[in-house]
Every structure is written in structure tokens, then in C-alpha cells.
Chains A and B, each alone.
Chain A
């Protein structure tokens, strides 16, 4: 295979003096899917932004087909044949797929925009690369997976040869991920080079040919996937062994802490998002909820945490109905929650790490002095959290938005895990999080339950996570529980998938006593 892209001694120092990349060299071949891995904050996104012309660099050079590239903007990168799929999609919702794809290079007839030609061009391209899209649909009406396809087509139609994908699977369902992999393989066969960033090592083992490992801004080298194991990759990334699969004992579950019965939640469109769900979470156990995304997980979480009303049935926490309680009252009753969306709800990203951590407890007596806040007590507490949860930051005053994704999640987790809760709801707790932090979060969830007798409800799209962390498993499909497994360790991923997709369903009799 021939070398397409080469990076030599690339060094990036941010304006605040932080060295995000130092002396990085690696190369990517045509027809290769090349993984880039590293802890949160290792500098992966920074490196890709330099390749895509969005960031300048202090030292080093980028070569494409042995030609040195000078790029001032993302547009230059695209002209040179390098495209990037951002995690936040760059699409115009009210325009059709075709219009979005041709934006900036529109076919015209006199001064008129030639919509017919745009549709023809884009549907042809979609067919050529094997994307299943109706290009006349509005982008606001399509799924996240389709939006990603639109973004990929946007790059391909502009003639890029190198495609950079920064955590593309973080927003996809397992099915969409599988579809994406098939498409990437097809592009690979056609000679495209793909740089693939992900924290899910099993995806990298399955999809990629080679892997380049970054640690703390330095490049540790490039390795053939066939010579690697997940354990070796994570060891290289973090510099120590990570237990990718940990052993845990059976729980000694106590009394019912969270009791959900006959819960019904109806959406604004009249759709039953939660349709008669009943289950319990006992002290000391972890109950996992599996399901294809959009099966009602978000609505269930919102109802349990008291942020959205429910319309029928009941939810009780330690025997007390939660209806009519404010979120603050619920938290005082012992509820904690890791929200699935850390950027808008889980954390207040423009505020400091300190303010985020004490947001739910600043009024407690231990943080107060007369009518004022006790700055010393707060600082001590926050510094302890930063140390204990290994939040990589300059100091507690740093706004949360300046942290890398994994560290933002650590701030949320630090707050929720130290709240002294009796029940915790963890929604997608490790999405976009590196293996090291993932291990920490998962272990904590289990130890809080098994040792401190916290009741844990885990909602996740990551089947591995569900099978590993949960004691019991429930499957949610179209707002109903369609399967219940008393022992998560005895369930296989395939079996779970069959229930999630509706190929099989348990009867209420089968599930009796298991909910």
C-alpha cells in the first residue's frame, strides 16, 4: 500500500502555553483505516484540527502524496483532499439533504440554483458510495446516523482522499455503527484513507488496520492491529494495566429504594414514550436498562429525576412518592443523577470546576459561615475531589468548557459520587470517555452499590458496559419492558440484541418476579 499522508514532528502550543502535541510523526496509507487513540486530553482532536487546517502549528510539516501542505483554513484542507467529520454536525436543518451536500458548490442555471441537478448529483454520489439516503428529505427530519452520512457525502463529493472522523460512533446506535463500518470498509476498498478516533477499543480491533497511540501529547508509535490486543493498546495509552473486564461478586441486595409502577409518560405529540413500566431497584444492586436509542430511556430518566412530569403510575424513592418534589428536595432525599448530556444539563460549562462541584450543596452547613459561604471549606472539598477523581485542569477556577470531554465528565461524576446519595441514576456515564476513566467510573458504580448499599440504575447504549456493570438487566423497547434477566453475567450480547430489536419478547409471566 502506498503512503498518502505523512506528518513529521508536528508540535502545537496553545496560546495559553499548553503543549497539546509535541513532535508527532506518523503516516497513513491509501486504502487504510488508521486508528488514533489516547486518553481524554491526550491531544487527538488537536492533532486532527491541525491536519484539517483549523489550528496552526509551531513546528513540523504535513505532507500529502509527498507534497508539503500549507493550510490556512479548513477550506484549504478540503481543496488539498483532507476532510473531517465533526462531532457536532455542520448542517442546516431546514434545507434538504441534497441542498446541504452541495452548499458552497451549488449547480446553477443562469443565476438560479439548480435543485434538480443537485438532487441528481447527490443521489448519484449516495448510490456510488452505497449510502441509503433520500436526498430530498429535510435534514431536520432525519436520524443522527443519517446526518453523519450526509456529512461524509459532503466531504466525498468535494473530492477528499483522507477522511478524518473524530469519535463518530459516540452518537450512534449499535446498528448504525455496524452500518457505518460497512460503509467505511467500502471506502477503504476504493482507496480512501480514513483516520478513526474512538475510545471503544473493541471497535478499533474490529475496524482498523493500524493504530497510532498518543499519550500526554506525545506519539508512542504506530502498530499493526493484528499484533495488538485491547489490553496492550490501553496499557500503551495510559501507562498501566487497565482491567477491561473486572470481576464482581453477586450483590447482597436490601430493601426496595426506587419503585416504579405502571408508569406512563406521554410526549407532546401524544406518543406513549413510557407505556406502563414497572420495576424496582434495591439497595446494593445495579440494575441495567438496555434498549435501542429512543426506546424511552431519556423520558424514563427525566421522570425519575423529577425534571419532567409523568402522567400515570407512581415513582417512589424510599417509599415516598416523588411527584410534587422539587429537584433539590429529591436530591436531599438521596437521589443523584449523571445526565446523558453533560454539555447542557450535566454541567454548566461556562462556570468553574468549583462552582459545578458544589452546585448542589453550597447551602449545606459545612460549607457556610453565618450567612456567607465558607470559601476555605469549599476549596478544600473541591481540591479533594479534583485529586480523587484525577481531573486534569490548571486549577478549580478553570471554566469547565476548557476541559477535554473526559475531564468534563469527571467533574460531573465527582459531584454526583460525593453527594452522599442512596440512589443514583447513571445515563450513558462513559460515553466518549477514555478507557482509564471508564474503568474508574464503572468500578465506582459497582463499589458504591455493593459496598455502600446505594441503589444504582444504569442506562447505557454500550452493551459491554451493561453486561459488565449490571447485576440485573431489563430491556426497554418502545416504552415497554420486554425482557428481564436476573443475572446480567449470564446474558450474551446477541441474546440481548434480539430483545432490543424486538425479534423476541418475554411474556409478563416470564418476567414475573424479575422486575
Chain B
């Protein structure tokens, strides 16, 4: 049983990692006033480039940097098309995602001749895992928290870093002002285009780390469509969090947990597993509806009370 709990906890952290990166990438652009629907494509390109550059250079660091660079390039492309070319952002992002799916598969085939995966074709590397001293010896908690990929720990560090960037730095202040009232920002000499491009580049780098996790930690190869919707899941975690990096991370972990449950159930009953995978979204939607119904109810009740009090007061006044 203890074994099961520790395995479960370990899995949650592992499966949450790419979702957290995706959610953080979306948070940055969201604060600048743009929805980052292309995070899926960013991660996919990054996953491929991470594998290629680590295989070529035989350096983990250069592999991860290559992945981040790929994310940034996609971000730069979107900013150019959207901000300079003035195209519709959503259409651009959809196009980028489709292009990433086709493009990575094509590149995979060109490089390896295989259509499915780089496994056994490219000698790519994996990001090392880390045993944390002291903590790893704590019963129950140790095996959950220790032994993860460096990128998993970095994801949580990133949450803090993004929070700091958004709320403590000058860039963050400008970024938020651009997101909320671009005219106001423009009127004091802040270039909206430059800030938004910066936001997309940062988002690309963060999404790149998520991609690197997929192909250099989760598994140690690239296979087509390996991001499998995790970018979109991160996007919705960020949407629920409404621009807060910390809340986005928490919701990413919730989604990661559902993923874990689904994975476990998959071993016994595949049908149920898909059902469980669906659950977090259903819960999110139902939760939102229930919450707003509750709010409407409460407001109505409060109003009724206020009206009753007003009527009573008016009657009392009339008597005197």
C-alpha cells in the first residue's frame, strides 16, 4: 500500500511537469493580453529539436537549450505574423499547431527515415534525475519528492521565477499594463509590439522546457505527436487560474493527478481510463457552472433581504 501511495505521488509530479510548463508559458502571454493557443506546437517543435541537438552535440545542456531555442523561434514567428503582419492571432496559432504536427513528422522522416520515433535511430540523451540528500530518506515523502528529473524541479522553480518576473520586475509591470490597457501603455512610450514579442519569446522558452521534458525525461526519444494535448491542458489550467502562475501550477497538478489515475486504470480497464482522463475537464466545467449558479442564488437572496429591510424601514418611518 505504501508502495502504491509513493508511486502515485511520484507519478503525479512527473506527469504534471509538462502541463506546468505549458500553463506558465500561457500565463506570460495572457498577462500581456494574448491567448497562447500555439503552446502545443511550441512544445512539439521543442521536443524534436531537443532530441536532435542532444544527439548531435552529445550534451544534455545543449539539448535543452536547443529545445528552448525551438520554442523561442515559434514564439518569434507568431509575434512577427501577428504583431507585424497583423494577422488574426487564433488563426495563426491554429496554423502553427498544424504546421508543427506535420513539420516535426516530416523532419523526423527526413532525418531518420522512420515515421514514428527516433528511438534506436538517434543516440539522444536524457536529463539526469536527482536524488535529494536528506529529503530522500524521509519515509513516504522521500520517494515521492526525490529522484525526479532535473526538469521537474525546474518547473516549480519556474513558477516562482515567472511570478517574480510578472509582479516584481519592471518588465512585468510593463507587460501587465500592455495586457490591460495597451493605449495607456503606448501613451507613456511603452512599445506594445516589443513587450508582446518579449512575452512570446519568454513563453517559447518555457514551453521549450516542457518539450524538452517530453523527449529527454519522460522518454528519451522523440515520437510523433508526443505532446498529445498537454499544451492545451496547460492552456486551460492557465485559463482557470486567470493569470496567476501559482494557481496555474496548482491546477496543472490537478490535471496531472487525473492523468496518473487514468494511467493506473489503463492497466486494468482501458475504457475507464479514458473516462477518468475526461473527468478533470468535466469537473472544471461543472464546477464553474455550479459556482456561478451559487453566486446568482446568493446575490438574489441578499437582494431579497435588502428589499425586505427597506420596506420595513419605510413602513416604520411612515408611522412616526
Whether A associates with B in a native complex is yes
Most chain B CB inside 10 Å of its own CB: which residue of A95, A268, A271: A95
Cα–Cα, bound, A262→B317 (Å): 12
Instruction: Given A113-B168, A266-B310, check contact A103 B302 (CB 8 Å).
Output: no
What residues on B are CB-neighbors of A78 within 8 Å? 189
State whether the Cβ of A311 lies closer than 8 Å to any Cβ in chain B. Answer: yes
CB distance from B311 to the nearest CB of A (A): 6
CB distance from A322 to the nearest CB of B (A): 18
Interface string of B187-206 (1 = CB under 8 A from A): 11110000000000000000
State whether the Cβ of B14 lies closer than 8 Å to any Cβ in chain A. Answer: no
What residues on B are CB-neighbors of A19 within 8 Å? none
State whether the Cβ of B173 lies closer than 8 Å to any Cβ in chain A. Answer: yes
State whether the Cβ of B58 lies closer than 8 Å to any Cβ in chain A. Answer: no
State whether the Cβ of A244 lies closer than 8 Å to any Cβ in chain B. Answer: no
What residues on A are CB-neighbors of B187 within 8 Å? 74, 90
Binds A, one of B17-25, B175-183, B258-266: B175-183
Considering the complex, give the chain A residue whose CB is closest to the CB of B304.
A311
State whether the Cβ of B230 lies closer than 8 Å to any Cβ in chain A. Answer: no
Contact B310 A270 (CB under 8 A): no
State whether the Cβ of A92 lies closer than 8 Å to any Cβ in chain B. Answer: yes
What residues on B are CB-neighbors of A113 within 8 Å? 168-170, 172-173
CB distance from B79 to the nearest CB of A (A): 21
CB distance from A249 to the nearest CB of B (A): 36
Contact B190 A104 (CB under 8 A): yes
What residues on B are CB-neighbors of A91 within 8 Å? 181, 184
Cα–Cα, bound, A497→B305 (Å): 33
Contact B303 A92 (CB under 8 A): no
What residues on B are CB-neighbors of A276 within 8 Å? 310, 313-314, 317
Most chain A CB inside 10 Å of its own CB: which residue of B169, B185, B187, B190: B187
Contact B310 A264 (CB under 8 A): yes
Q: Range of interface residues on chain B? A: 20 to 34
Contact B303 A266 (CB under 8 A): yes
Contact A272 B310 (CB under 8 A): yes
What residues on A are CB-neighbors of B305 within 8 Å? 270
Instruction: Given A93-B181, A103-B177, A104-B188, check contact A111 B169 (CB 8 Å).
Output: yes
State whether the Cβ of A312 lies closer than 8 Å to any Cβ in chain B. Answer: yes
State whether the Cβ of B278 lies closer than 8 Å to any Cβ in chain A. Answer: no
Considering the complex, give the chain B residue whose CB is closest to the CB of A99.
B173
State whether the Cβ of B306 lies closer than 8 Å to any Cβ in chain A. Answer: yes
Within 8 A of B (CB), among A446-468: none
Contact B311 A264 (CB under 8 A): yes
A-B contact count (CB 8 A): 86
Interface string of A101-132 (1 = CB under 8 A from B): 00111101001110000000000000000000
CB distance from A156 to the nearest CB of B (A): 14
Cα–Cα, bound, A92→B185 (Å): 8
What residues on A are CB-neighbors of B170 within 8 Å? 106, 108, 111-113
Contact B189 A104 (CB under 8 A): yes
Cα–Cα, bound, A93→B180 (Å): 8
Partner of A112, one of B168, B190, B314: B168
State whether the Cβ of B307 lies closer than 8 Å to any Cβ in chain A. Answer: yes
Instruction: Given A99-B173, A266-B306, A311-B307, check contact A92 B189 (CB 8 Å).
Output: no
Cα–Cα, bound, A99→B188 (Å): 12
What residues on A are CB-neighbors of B173 within 8 Å? 95, 99, 103, 106, 113
State whether the Cβ of A94 lies closer than 8 Å to any Cβ in chain B. Answer: yes
Cα–Cα, bound, A75→B171 (Å): 20
Considering the complex, give the chain A residue whose CB is closest to the CB of B174.
A103
Considering the complex, give the chain A residue whose CB is closest to the CB of B183.
A90
Cα–Cα, bound, A274→B317 (Å): 16
State whether the Cβ of B115 lies closer than 8 Å to any Cβ in chain A. Answer: no
Considering the complex, give the chain B residue whose CB is closest to the CB of A310.
B307
Considering the complex, give the chain B residue whose CB is closest to the CB of A73.
B189
Considering the complex, give the chain B residue whose CB is closest to the CB of A265.
B307
State whether the Cβ of B297 lies closer than 8 Å to any Cβ in chain A. Answer: no
CB distance from A195 to the nearest CB of B (A): 18
State whether the Cβ of A431 lies closer than 8 Å to any Cβ in chain B. Answer: no
Considering the complex, give the chain A residue whose CB is closest to the CB of B303.
A266
What residues on A are CB-neighbors of B299 within 8 Å? 268
What are 17 A-B pairs with beta-carbon distances under 8 A? A90-B184, A90-B187, A91-B181, A93-B181, A95-B176, A99-B173, A100-B184, A103-B188, A104-B185, A106-B173, A108-B170, A111-B170, A270-B303, A270-B306, A272-B310, A275-B314, A312-B307
The 7 A-B residue pairs with the shortest CB-CB distance in the complex, in nearest-first order:
A104-B188, A90-B184, A276-B314, A311-B307, A266-B306, A90-B187, A113-B170
Interface residues of B (CB under 8 A from A): 168-174, 176-177, 180-181, 183-185, 187-190, 299, 302-303, 305-307, 310-311, 313-314, 317
Interface residues of A (CB under 8 A from B): 74-75, 78, 90-95, 99-100, 103-106, 108, 111-113, 154, 262, 264, 266, 268, 270-272, 275-276, 311-312, 508
4 additional contacts (CB under 8 A) given A103-B185, A154-B188, A508-B317: A92-B180, A106-B174, A266-B306, A268-B299
